[in-house]
Each structure stands twice: as C-alpha cells, then as structure tokens.
Structure 1
Amino acid sequence: DFPPLLISLGDLRRGFVFHEVKQVLITDEDIFKRYRERRQRWVGEEEKKIERWTELRGGDYVVHIDHGIGKFSGIKTLKLQGRKCDYFQVNYKGTDRLYIPLDQLDRLHKYMGDSDHPPPIYSLEGGQWRLTKRRVRKAARDLASSLLRLYSIRKVIPGYHFSLDTDWQLEFEASFPYQETPDQLRATHEVKQDMENPSPMDRLVCGDAGYGKTEVAMRAAFKVVMDNKQVAMLVPTTILAEQHHRTFRERIAAYPIRIEMLSRFQGLKEQKDIVTSLKNGGVDIVIGTHRLIQKDIEFKDLGLVIIDEEQRFGVIQKKKLRELRSSVDVLTLSATPIPRSLYMSLMGVRSMSMIVTPPKERLNVETQVAEYNEE
C-alpha cells in the first residue's frame, strides 16, 4: 500500500494517471514548468545528433544542450538508491563530471569543429555555457535582422535595368574558345535575366572548380561595361586576384575595356592611381582583395559586384559585403558556399544557378602539398 503522498527522485519529465490502481504521478516539471521553454527551443535542431552510443569513443568532444562542451569518457555504472544504472560520463573543466542516463542520449551532440584546434572545455559551474548560448542567439538575431532589413530595402529600392545584349556582347560570347556546357548557358541566361530586371540581382552561381563559373562572370561583367558602368570583383587572396586579372585581360583584350587589379601588395603610387581612376570612371573592371572594400574606395558608377569564394572572407569583410548588396547587382561564385548563402538560395531568398556538368576534356584537379622552395 502506498501512503496518500509519496515523494521520490527519478528521471521522468511528464506525469501520468494510472486509472487501474487510482494513482496519479506528478513530476516537478508539471508543477514548476522550469524546463519546458528551454527544451522546446531545441525541437528539430540540425546538429549532428548521436543516434547510437556506439558512435562515441573515449576522448571524443561532445556538447550537452544544458552544460556545453566536454569530453566523453565512457559508460560508468553507478548505484543510486539501491539500484545500479549505467550512465554516460562526460568530463568537464577541472574535476567536474556529468553522469547522463542512457535514455537521455538525445541531450548529447557530437562536437563539429576544427579538429586541429581543440575546443574549450566548459565548467559545470558559473553559467559560462548559458552566457555563450545567449551571446550566440543575440548574434543570430542581429544577423537575421540585418538580412531582413537588407532584402527589404532591395525589394523597395529599384536597381538598374541593364540593356539587352549588344552586338559586341554577342561577338564576345561567340569568341569563347571552348564549347559551353548546357549548365553554363543556363546560368548565363539566368544571370542576364536578373540584370535586365529592375530589381537588384543577388544570385549565387555554384559549381566545382573548372566548371566554367568565371566565364559566366566575365559575360556578366562585359554586359555591365556595355552600359558604361563599373564592375568590382572581390577575391579572398592576392594569388586569386592575379589569376582572375590575367584571365580577364586575355579574354577581353580585343575590346577597349580597362581592367585593373588592386591589392595591398602593390606600391602606394600604383594603388593611388587606380583608386583615382575608379573615382573618375577611368577603370571599367577592377579585381582585388578586401582592399576594394576599404573606406578610400569610391566608384563613379558601380553596377556589379562579383564575389568569388565568399566563404573565405573574414567576418568584418562579410559584413561590408552585405552592405554592398543594398543597391547594386551582386553575383557570387562558389564551389562550396557558406551554409547561410546556400540555405537562403535553397529557400528562394537568393537566386541560385547550378553548374553540375564539367566541360568536355576537363582535366581532374590535382592538389599537391610540398615544401616551399625559393628556386
């Protein structure tokens, strides 16, 4: 026989009524509702959930929803209230240990991060993890707010309505020495359609290395120059800037179009001359690193920003790139787009063109790691 009221420790989140024996079990959560809101926020999360405990190895970094990053130690058997139970042991900072019942495996996630730089181990005291989550939520809200404001402005502010293809445009495209793939032609057509629309373009062209993204970008840049506007192509490294600069100049050599490169490795006089020419309209296409988004850069009439490998820019540079998107056409090229850009494209917030078929006779990309040799 049970007494009228019995209080016991256990791992039950919700109460229930046992009609057969006329018993009601009520949990502390039913009474105080201390955890409901916090747990609901994690419904449907996209983190790497652990489906089976066998996926874990001793020493793996794991993230507990309520306590943060720790190190998985293994399974430990503990005796509580006369009962032996198995628990996951997670080691935290110092001598802190957390024992998690096996039926709460869903509270653990594998840590997904840079394997070369181990993450900080949290303490179970002090609320450090709670502050971290609060800071991340605020940053996510701020980012969402800025993106919402940006794309709202883009819907209201009219962009430039580019002209239909000129004879020079058709001639330039016909001079391409290779056979375009169907995906290249489709991507080019979609980019032009956006440019000829009065709303500012924001399109992601996604394709593997060597699939022809640069040719699509050059055709868009040529179209902009035909309307007497300027093009800025942003790349993450000086080597990539030099490569694109050489490719653009060789491809457009037959036309009276001035193409320059700008990076911090150039001499101050050369940089100053290019900056002045950008301001007075003397440069049609400029290719450069984040030097292009510094305060002293002004364009006479910027019509298109091309961003190559956006995921390799830093946080500050990405913020400035977002600001550029408010009024001019933006074309982003990437083989591995950042998750936010890809998600926004898949959701229809940004337009996306896929280049999935390689050109004929394309050679496979070879990556070699070698020691530096001055010779």
Structure 2
Amino acid sequence: KQVAVIAPTTLLARQHYKTFAERFAGWPLKVRQLSRLVGAKEAAETRDGIADGSVDVVVGTHAVLTKTIEFKRLGLLVVDEEQRFGVKHKERLKELKADVHVLTLSATPIPRTLQMALTGIRDLSIIATPPVDRLSVRTYITEEDTVTLREALLREKYRGGQAFFVAPRIQDLDKLERFLHDNVPEVSYIVAHGQMA
C-alpha cells in the first residue's frame, strides 16, 4: 500500500520529507516529495510513480491533492494541521479518506477537533515520550484558574524555560495581555499574531 503525507506549507512538507527519507534510508521504500518547490521533471516522475505504484511514500503540500494525482494503492493518508487547509482541499481530503486509513496530526488542534476526540467521535493518540534530551511537556485542559496559571508560568520562568499562550482569536490578545500584566508581573512577554506587519 502507498502512504501520502500532506502538510499545509512547503517548509513543513520539506521537513517531513527529510525525516521520512532519513528514517527509511536503506529500506526498500521509494520516498518522494511533491510541492511547488519540486522541479517539473521530478514532479512528473513522482506523479507517474504514484499512478503506477512505484512510489511508496509521497510527502507534499496541497499539490498531492490535485485531481491529476491518481494513487494506485493508497492505504494510509497522514494529514498534518488539517485545519490550515482550505475548503477545496478539505473536499479532496474527504474523497481520499473514503477507503483508506487516516491519521491527522496537530500540535494545536482546533476546538472542534479536540471536542471530537474527547467525545470519542475520533480516536485520540498522544505522543507521551519526548525526543531524546527533550524535557517533557505538560498539557492541562482545565477551567481558567489564575493561581494555577501563575504558578505554572513562574515555575517555567525560574527554570529558564519559555511558555506560550495560544488564543483562538486576535481580539482575545488584549485580555491575555492584561491577565499577564496584572497576575504575573514577574514575567516578560511579547504578543505576536498573523496580521502583524
């Protein structure tokens, strides 16, 4: 069976491709990439390999989702950060998902996806072991608790680490900034979002 790994950006797709190519070096698997950064000749060879089944793993961007891509024997579809794909691409993903196993990945799942996992509509897997030499990350899903948030932020500050607050909307950033200013004045922070120049 074939595997398709799809990421929303060329950078992320290239990182995944490099990882797959390194991990499967020496195995009898043909790993190829497909994105706008791949030359026309290589892209054509990859498309042909997908169609005739000679490409075992293809890693790419939405380029893998075009109607011109025909998999001979797709068995697993891995989608990284599905929430970042557009409506057209999600429709194509639905078509591909019909008869194959699907694994969706996200470091920052949207509330709908998280709700589907927590209610059992979607299965949930958590990678609980960090890479070698990486301190473990603790994730809590809880009601807002000022004392717990303050303790966690200060603990991270005093151990020399960093913390991230992720807000679902840019409009929420002012509230988060006020919270940090009022409740954890010991920490320095910056605000960043996708609409900054």
| TMscore range, shorter length | 0.5 to 0.7
Q: State the Cα distance separating 1:281 from its structure 2 match.
A: 0.8
Pick from 40, 55, 64 the counterpart of residue 268 of structure 1: 40
Residue 252 of structure 1 corresponds to 24
Counterpart Cα distance in 2 of 1:247 and 1:235 = 13
Could you tell me which residue of structure 1 aligns to residue 105 of structure 2? 333
The yes-or-no answer on 1:361 pairing with 2:136 is no
- What secondary structure is seen at the aligned counterpart in 2 of 1:353? coil
1:298 maps to amino acid: E
Q: Distance in 1 between matches of 2:98 and 2:115?
A: 20
| Residue-by-residue CA offset, 1:311-355 (whole Å, 9 max, x unaligned) | 222222222222322210000111111222221121111111123
Does the 8 Å CA contact 1:260/1:286 hold for their aligned counterparts?
yes
Structure 1 unaligned runs (5+)? 1-228, 370-375
Q: Distance in 1 between matches of 2:23 and 2:130?
A: 20
Instruction: Measure, in 2, the Cα distance between the counterparts of 1:278 and 1:362.
Output: 36
Q: Which has the higher contact order (CA 8 A, sep 6+)?
A: 2
Q: Tell me, yes or no, if the aligned pair for 1:311 and 1:336 is still in contact at 8 Å.
A: no
Residue 153 of structure 2 corresponds to which residue in structure 1?
A: none
- Pick the structure with greater CA Rg: 1
Q: Could you say which structure has the higher strand fraction?
A: 1
Runs of 5+ consecutive residues of structure 2 not aligned to the other structure: 136-160, 165-191, 193-197
**Structure 1 equivalent of residue 94 of structure 2:** 322
- Residue by residue, what CA displacement relative to the aligned partner does 1:50-107 show, whole Å, maximum 9, x if unpaired? xxxxxxxxxxxxxxxxxxxxxxxxxxxxxxxxxxxxxxxxxxxxxxxxxxxxxxxxxx
The 1:320/1:238 distance shift into structure 2, 3 A limit, reads same
Mapped contact 1:231–1:284 kept (Cα < 8 A): yes
Deviation at 1:292, TM superposition (A): 0.4
Query: TM-score, normalization: structure 2?
Result: 0.65
Quote the residue 1:241 is aligned against. 13
Query: Hey, what does 2:120 align to over in structure 1?
Result: 348
Question: d(CA) in 1 for partners of 2:22 and 2:162?
Answer: 22
TM-score (norm 1): 0.35
Cα RMSD after superposing both structures: 2.4
Identical counterparts, % of pairs: 53
Q: Is contact 1:310–1:338 with CA below 8 Å preserved after alignment?
A: no
Kindly provide the amino acid, as one letter, of the partner of residue 339 in structure 1. Answer: P
Q: Is the 8 A contact 1:262 1:292 kept in 2?
A: yes
> 1:360 offset after TM fit, Å?
4.8
SS at match of 1:303: strand
CA distance in 1, matches of 2:78, 2:162: 24
Amino acid at match of 1:336: T
How does 1:225-236 map onto structure 2 within 5 Å? 229-236=1-8
Matched residue SS, 1:249: helix
Quote how far apart the aligned CAs of 1:362 are.
0.7
> Structure 1: how far apart are the matches of 2:162 and 2:89?
29
**Partner SS state of residue 25, structure 2:** coil
Distance 1:344 1:323 in 2: 20
